[in-house]
Structure 1
């Protein structure tokens, strides 16, 4: 008969010698995952294998609810876990987080996953050698100027064939903000504006992350898949011009905007200032 483990999760079978439960709860960057012990230890010599094979439960960090804690990207860990289940990598059709996922794979010491995410350097070198030294290859899309530096030619070719450039997809992103302003008793005085409290971002998750990257706050909708839409993201800064610069940099242009204002409260006292609330949205498009 299996004995109850002091750890969180379902108990192991009677023949198991590990101090860990068969079902383990993880807190990865605020995201909770529940998986099997065998899944976490599927790849030998990985970071998770070392944690759960070579260490005791008391040696690992925990959160306030007793779950094992990892201070990593909670959104990308789902792909790490998927890979550990069967050692296959399956990503959405449009996945702009590949470089960040590779960084996570390197952190968890998953060498084979790193190879799937990034071509081998030996293959890259052989391709470069063929372009620079061989004159029998098929013509390149980039004209080659006699006497020009080979590395410069490669730089131009890589720019033309850049995956990030070719993978850009059309779509819309809406940027909005809510502000307040006070109109004084004397209507001739200037209105007093308060700073923008928060800039919201609405649109397809993958597009929002492509444009704003680490400056995007996902805490209100942290587990949204890349192909889904959201209206709960907001930026970590409060400058509209900074957001517009980022959108322009990634090929977006403004196609519409709207604004509304309402009086927060009204009073019969004519000497009392009027506080107004405004909400403004800007719609950007990339075709």
Structure 2
């Protein structure tokens, strides 16, 4: 009985296995179907028919064969596989899916960018003729290179040369209002604003020719993050001049 060959038609996909494989977990639906003779449907060829996802069943069957959950590195259908494991009532498979999904989440990569804008002047709340604005973008070199030239500036090549890909570096952004413009670009690229804070300081400028002048400094700091899949490559934005980058690193 245990060595009998069985042909299954699962959602139109035909599989051949043995009764011993299907009986691997007797308490499961497949185990009960084999051992207790549960009512079953046959297709036109006399094969046992199960009206479920035929493609995903191969992972269920492979687990029955080896007791190991082996999935492709780019596998994404955890919810679908979980639903099938629940339908077949294979508890060890359900546990293995949950463990692997948690492990993949841990291996996911999160990268961060920080935008700091410093406004200095007698009225520093908004850029005016008597205030100075300095905007700094901080991040890893390889992550900065994923951003379009409009974000990091046309002269970024010179400022990023001699930096290692994973080295953190600062770029001063020129223009106004760069913090808001870059934030909008990052949002459109899938980045999330995770924190934003403002700090204020003030003092007197004794170099003023009209006596002591009050100087106010506002510092805005925005922190952005983006999750990359474990196998997602970090690619340089295609709009950058690759040849110029190579020359800058020579």
Q: Into which bin does the TM-score normalised by the smaller protein fall?
A: 0.3 to 0.5
TM norm structure 2: 0.41
TM norm structure 1: 0.36
Higher relative contact order (CA closer than 8 Å, sequence separation 6+): 2
Q: Per residue, is there more strand in 1 or in 2?
A: 2
Please say which structure displays the higher CA radius of gyration.
Answer: 2
